[in-house]
Amino acid sequence: MPEILAVDLGGTNIRVARFPSAQPPATTHSKTPTRAAEGPEAVIARILQAIESIAPPSRADMRIGIGAPGPLDTRRGVILDAPNLPGWLNLPLRERVADHFGCPVALGNDANLAALAEWRFGAGRGCTELLYLTISTGIGGGVISDGHLLLGAQGLAAELGHMTLLMGGPTCSCGQHGHLEGIASGPAIARRAAERLAAGEASSLRALSTAAEGLTAEAVGQAARQGDTLARLVVDEAAEAIGCHLASLLHAFNPQVVVLGGGVMQIGDLLLPGIEAAMRAQVMHPAFLDGLRIARAQLGEDVGLIGAMALASEL
Amino acid sequence: MPEILAVDLGGTNIRVARFPSAQPPATTHSKTPTRAAEGPEAVIARILQAIESIAPPSRADMRIGIGAPGPLDTRRGVILDAPNLPGWLNLPLRERVADHFGCPVALGNDANLAALAEWRFGAGRGCTELLYLTISTGIGGGVISDGHLLLGAQGLAAELGHMTLLMGGPTCSCGQHGHLEGIASGPAIARRAAERLAAGEASSLRALSTAAEGLTAEAVGQAARQGDTLARLVVDEAAEAIGCHLASLLHAFNPQVVVLGGGVMQIGDLLLPGIEAAMRAQVMHPAFLDGLRIARAQLGEDVGLIGAMALASEL
C-alpha cells in the first residue's frame, strides 16, 4: 500500500495532507498561504516545503497527488493558465514536483478531483455514472463515465460551467457569453441582485449593497430566507438556470447520480427544490429520471485533498 | 470471425446488410419499406423476414446488430419511445430478435452507432476521443471517450442536439425549448426562413413557400448559394448556433476529432466556415483547439449499418 501525500493548490491557501493507507481520513494536515502575487517560483517553493513538512521518513513507496484550478493539461501534468495564480502559464508542475521528490506525481483539475472523491468516498459511492457540479466563485464539473474519470484528449474535459445556456447572455469570467457560470455562480447571483437594486426594486439588501462586505450570494440567500422578494426571485432564477442546464447534462451523460457541491450550496436548501423542479420539467424523456439520485456533496472542505489522494492511488 | 447481420431501422425503410468478415463493405444489402403505420408487430415481422432473407445458411457463429432511433435503453435492448414509429413504447426489440434467431443481438441508438462507425471505419479512425453530430431532421450525437462509446446509465447518453443553447428559445421536436435541434436542424432552418418571409423580407424563396414541395433546408441552401440575402442570413444563424454549441461540447468532452454528418451537411460547404469560426471564437481557452480536427462524415448512407455491425462485433 503506497503512502500518499495530497496537495490542494488554491488561490488563497496551499493545503497538504498525508494518507498512509490511501483512503480517508488523512493523518496529518497542513495549510500555508499561497501568496500567489509573489509568482510561480515562490509558490512552487512553498508547495515543495509543505510536502516536505508532512512527508514520511521513508519515501520508498510515496506518491503525490495534486489538485489545481483549471484549465490544465492533466495528461502532460501542465498548468496551462490559472486565473487565480498570476504568472502560471504552461507550467509543468507535475515534473517540477516529481523531479524534487523522485516519486510518481499526478496532477488533476480540482473540480474533476472533487468528482472523483465524491464517487470513491462520498455521495456517489457504488455507482458507475456520476455527474458532479461545484457551484462557487466559479462553476466546475467532473464526470465519472463507466467507472472512470472523463478526461478527454488533454484532460480538459468536464468544464460543465462553461457551456452556453443563453446565447448572447451575460459575460462569464472566462470572457465568453451565456455560460452557466455567468448566470448562476456566487458572483453572478450577487450581480443579479445588484442589478435589481440598481433598477430601484425594494429589498432589505439595499443596506448591504453599500456596506464594506458588499453583496454576496450568501447575503442574498439570507435575505431570501427572511422573506425578501427580490432575493427570493434572484435565488429562484439561479435555481432555474442550474436545473435547465442539469437537464441538458442528463441528456449528454445519462448519469445515475448528480452530486452538487461548492460554497453556493450553503444555500442549497433554498436552491435545491427549484433546481430539481426545473430539471425534471425540462428533461426530454422520463427515462433519464429513472433511478436518478440528486445528492449534496458529503466531503466538505477536504474534498480536494481526498480527490488528489484518489488520483495518486491510481498511479 | 463471426458473421454479422446489421439492421438499420428507420421511419421510412428497414435496411439490412451482411458483413461476413465483421468489417465494411457489406456483401449483401436489402431494403424494405417500414410501413410504420401498421404498428410494431407488423414491423417486427418485416425486420425478422429481412434478416432471414440475407442470413447465411449456417447460423452457428452469427450475430445481429440493430440501429434504431432513440431514446432507447441500449443496456436492456428496449426501444422506449420512437417518434417515427407509432406504438413503439417500451418494446424489447433485442429480446424479440434474439429469441427468433437464437444468436447474440445488440441494439444501439442510430446516432451513437454512426459515431461508432465513423470512429472505427470513417473520418475518426485512429483517435480515442471523438464527438459526432448528425444534423438532419433532428440533431443526434455520439461520443467516443477513451476508446469507448459513451453510453451512460441506461445507454441514453449523447443526446447532444437536445441541450439548451437558448433558455426560453424555440420549441424543439421533443417539446422542450431552446435546444440546438429546435434552432439548427433541417426543419428549424426551413422554419426560420418561413418566419422571415412572413415578416415581409424580400427573397427568391417566396415562390417556394407556397409550392407543393415547400421550403426545405436544401432549398434555403440553394438560394444562399445563388446570393439570396435572407437565405444567407438563415444559414449563417444556424452555423453560429452549431458552432456555439460545439464550443460548449469541446468544454464538456475535449475531443480530438469532431465529425459532422447528416442530411443538412449537404449544404456543409455553406455551413462549415461559419460553424468553425463561431466555435473557435467561443472556446474558453485555446488549448481546446490544440490538434483538434473538424471532419465531415465519410461513410454516407451506410453509416447506420456499419455502426450496427461494429456494435455487434463487440458482443
Q: Which residues contact A200 (CB under 8 A, 6 or more apart)?
A: none
Contacting residues of A for B238, CB less than 8 Å apart: none
Per-residue pLDDT of chain A (315 residues; tens, 9 = 90+): 789 999 999 989 999 999 998 999 999 999 999 999 999 999 999 999 999 999 988 888 899 999 998 789 999 999 998 878 889 999 999 999 999 999 999 999 999 999 999 999 999 999 999 999 999 999 999 999 999 999 999 999 999 999 999 999 999 999 999 999 999 999 999 999 999 999 999 999 998 766 656 899 999 999 999 999 999 999 999 999 999 999 999 999 999 999 999 999 999 999 999 999 999 999 999 999 999 999 999 999 999 999 999 999 998
Distance CA B14, CA B22 (A): 20
The partner residues of B66 in beta bridges, in order of sequence, read: B7, B107
Q: How many residues does chain B have?
A: 315
What is the residue-wise DSSP string for B132-173? EEEESSSEEEEEEETTEE---SSS----TTSSBSBTT-SBPT
Cell of A45: 517553493
Contacting residues of A for B167, CB less than 8 Å apart: 165-166, 241, 244
Among residues B73, B235, B214, which one has the least CA distance to residue B156? B73
CB A247 within 8 A of CB B178: no
Chain B CA closest to residue A142: B252
Separation in Å, CA of B165 to nearest CA in chain A: 5
Q: Which of B153, B249, B251 sits opposite A129 (nearest CB)?
A: B153
ipTM of the complex in this document: 0.96
- Contact criterion met (CB < 8 Å) for B247 and A158: no
pLDDT tens track for B233-287: 999 999 999 999 999 999 999 999 999 999 999 999 999 999 999 999 999 999 9
SS3 A281: helix
Q: Which of B128, B145, B251 sits opposite A159 (nearest CB)?
A: B251
Q: Which residues contact A132 (CB under 8 A, 6 or more apart)?
A: A111, A114, A115, A118, A119, A124, A141, A142, A143, A144, A258, A259, A260, A261, A297
Separation in Å, CA of B60 to nearest CA in chain A: 32
Q: Which residues contact B207 (CB under 8 A, 6 or more apart)?
A: none
What backbone torsions phi and psi does residue B79 show, to the nearest 5 degrees? Answer: -80, 115
The partner residues of A72 in beta bridges, in order of sequence, read: A79
Encoded amino acid at B251, one letter: H
- Contact criterion met (CB < 8 Å) for B154 and A290: yes
Q: Do A3-115+302-313 and A125-297 show the same overall fold?
A: yes
The pLDDT value recorded for residue A61 is: 87
pLDDT tens track for B49-92: 999 999 988 888 899 999 998 789 999 999 998 878 899 999 99
Chain A CA closest to residue B80: A287
pLDDT tens track for A157-214: 999 999 999 999 999 999 999 999 999 999 999 999 999 999 999 999 998 766 656 8
Q: Which of B165, B176, B254 sits opposite A282 (nearest CB)?
A: B176
Separation in Å, CA of B11 to nearest CA in chain A: 19
- The residue ranges of every structural domain in chain A are 3-115+302-313, 125-297
Chain B CA closest to residue A83: B285
| Class for the domain spanning B3-115+302-313 | alpha beta
Contacting residues of A for B160, CB less than 8 Å apart: 251-252
User: Would you say domain A125-297 falls under CATH 3.30.420.40?
Assistant: yes
Separation in Å, CA of B76 to nearest CA in chain A: 12
SS3 B66: strand
Cell of B16: 439490412
Q: Which of B172, B244, B254 sits opposite A164 (nearest CB)?
A: B244
Q: What kind of fold does domain B123-297 have according to CATH?
A: Nucleotidyltransferase; domain 5 (3.30.420)
Contacting residues of B for A129, CB less than 8 Å apart: 152-153
- Contact criterion met (CB < 8 Å) for B251 and A160: yes
Task: Give first-to-last CA distance, chain B, whole Å.
Answer: 12
Mutation site for A-interface testing, chosen from B74, B160, B183, B285 by largest number of A Cβ within 10 Å: B285
Separation in Å, CA of A76 to nearest CA in chain B: 12
Among residues B3, B87, B156, B42, which one has the least CA distance to residue B14? B42
Cell of B173: 421536436
For chain B, where are the E strands, in sequence order? 3-9, 13-19, 28-33, 62-68, 72-73, 78-81, 89-91, 105-109, 130-135, 139-145, 148-149, 257-261, 293-296
Chain B CA closest to residue A292: B153
Sheet holding B78-81, edge to edge: B72-73, B78-81, B89-91
Q: How many CA atoms lie within 13 A of B52 on its CB side?
A: 9
Among residues A3, A5, A263, which one has the least CA distance to residue A136? A263
Contacting residues of B for A253, CB less than 8 Å apart: 150, 152, 157
Separation in Å, CA of A184 to nearest CA in chain B: 13
What is the residue-wise DSSP string for B114-137? HHHHHHHHSTTTT-S-EEEEEESS
Encoded amino acid at A95, one letter: E
For A204-298, where are the E strands, in sequence order? 257-261, 293-296
- Contact criterion met (CB < 8 Å) for A80 and B285: yes
CB A141 within 8 A of CB A253: no
